[in-house]
Homo-oligomer: A and B are copies of this chain.
Amino acid sequence: MEKYVSLRDIEQAALALLSKTARDYYKSGATDEQTLAENKLAFQRLRIRPKCLVGVERCNLHTTVLGVDVSMPVGISPTAMQRMAHPDGELANVKAAQEEGTVFTLSTIATSSIEEVAEAAPLATKWFQLYIYNDREVTKKLVQRAVKAGFKAIVLTVDTPLFGLRRADIRNKFTLPSHLRLANFDGLLSTKIQSTDSGSGLNKYVEELFDKSLTWNEVKWLKSITTLPIIAKGVLRGDDAVKAVEAGCSAILVSNHGARQLDGVAASIEALPEIVEALKNYNVEVYLDGGVSTGTDVFKALALGAKMVFVGRPALWGLTVGGQAGVQRMLNIFRTELQYTLQIAGTPTTADITKDMVRHESSYFLRK
């Protein structure tokens, strides 16, 4: 794995290895993919303002999320159907997270089950990402199994009444390869996604099965069936963040779903400050995912108020190039880059990162 020096190295190698269908599914964004590009470009519009000679020998990347210690503020976002990337799929991913001391989030529509994941990495901090199905019994059972398997939080995805239009999936008539199944389900729910008459099999699956009538009241229902903390994933507005918290969420994951839901929305790093501001009088944590590609991106998100960042595709690229080892390499590239950043920026611990450490490029342009 040593030959991979940057995330981009891993990504390029992975794109060359994957089948067209899997590659397109993993990398696509919604429609014109403008936001997909913006998720990265927006980080580049921020400038770090390093401090000198502060004494950085005590550099330390640890932080906590929801009270649990993690070795660094970079965790793994839920991504569906990981066995298309590597035979070990979610199991390799969660083992990497365990080894590297960070959070792994399992997708509802994973190709490994809640129980398999728990067994593969009993010591990892595991979160369960939830889609709410029309059938509430199905939904309830998922939550109960996650609780039982030792998952530590429910990540409720709130931006997905249906799946975004991803043109490549439509062109490819995306289906799950027949040797794989949605492992958290039985019967039709586990195999339905394996066929389609036209368009993306995934979109049809979601269109039929996910509940479109959801409102923030659902959080209350969720809280009535579990005591796990609930994280609202997919919030892009300050007012929605307040609604989430007032409905009972313990944290907000600012996210545009990797630019896969609606093209033309803000980059998640652009949306972050509005949400941090709206929640300043609430005692909750704010996270971010979307386009995080370097240690300096992590730093910028933290400076703008995120407690932790998550990565989706980077873990898929790591999985593809080397299973567990590939994901660990990816995480360690982030770790090294962040460590360098903390030291050279003069903020040896994540707690030292204050808001003034980052400024928008336009604040330089517009100075008279």
Give me the interface of A with B, judged by CB distance under 8 Å. 2, 5-6, 31-32, 34, 42-57, 59, 158-162, 164-165, 167, 170-171, 198, 212-216, 218, 232, 234-237, 239-240, 243-244, 261-266, 270, 273, 294-296, 299-300, 336-337, 340-341, 343-345, 359-368
Question: In the complex, are the beta carbons of A49 and B266 less than 8 A apart?
Answer: yes
A51-B167 Cα distance, complex, nearest whole Å: 23
Question: In the complex, are the beta carbons of A300 and B264 less than 8 A apart?
Answer: yes
3 closest Cβ pairs, A-B complex: A52-B158, A264-B296, A270-B364
When the two chains form the complex, which single residue of B43, B47, B170, B218 contacts A266, counting CB atoms closer than 8 Å? B47
Question: In the complex, are the beta carbons of B55 and A213 less than 8 A apart?
Answer: yes
Question: In the complex, are the beta carbons of B262 and A50 less than 8 A apart?
Answer: yes
Question: In the complex, are the beta carbons of A50 and B237 less than 8 A apart?
Answer: yes
CB-CB under 8 A from A368, the residues of chain B are 360, 363
CB-CB under 8 A from A273, the residues of chain B are 367
CB-CB under 8 A from A362, the residues of chain B are 365-366
Cβ contacts A to B, 14 pairs, < 8 Å: A5-B167, A6-B167, A31-B296, A43-B264, A49-B236, A51-B237, A51-B239, A56-B161, A56-B212, A56-B213, A160-B344, A162-B343, A261-B344, A264-B296
A35: min CB distance to chain B, Å: 9
A93: min CB distance to chain B, Å: 25
Question: In the complex, are the beta carbons of B48 and A337 less than 8 A apart?
Answer: no
CB-CB under 8 A from A198, the residues of chain B are 2
A171-B6 Cα distance, complex, nearest whole Å: 10
CB-CB under 8 A from A42, the residues of chain B are 364
CB-CB under 8 A from A236, the residues of chain B are 49-50, 52
A182: min CB distance to chain B, Å: 22
A187-B295 Cα distance, complex, nearest whole Å: 36
Known: A47-B264, A162-B340. 5 other contacts (CB 8 A): A55-B212, A55-B213, A57-B212, A162-B343, A266-B364
CB-CB under 8 A from A212, the residues of chain B are 55-57, 59, 343
CB-CB under 8 A from A359, the residues of chain B are 266
A309: min CB distance to chain B, Å: 15
A285: min CB distance to chain B, Å: 18
A167-B162 Cα distance, complex, nearest whole Å: 41
Question: In the complex, are the beta carbons of A51 and B240 less than 8 A apart?
Answer: yes
Given contacts A53-B214, A337-B165, A340-B164, contact A264 B48 (CB under 8 A): yes
CB-CB under 8 A from A161, the residues of chain B are 56, 343-344
Nearest residue (CB) in B for A344 is B262
CB-CB under 8 A from A336, the residues of chain B are 165
A53-B159 Cα distance, complex, nearest whole Å: 7
Given contacts A31-B296, A362-B365, A363-B368, contact A53 B264 (CB under 8 A): no
Question: In the complex, are the beta carbons of A171 and B237 less than 8 A apart?
Answer: no
When the two chains form the complex, which single residue of B55, B56, B159, B337 contacts A52, counting CB atoms closer than 8 Å? B159
A214-B58 Cα distance, complex, nearest whole Å: 12
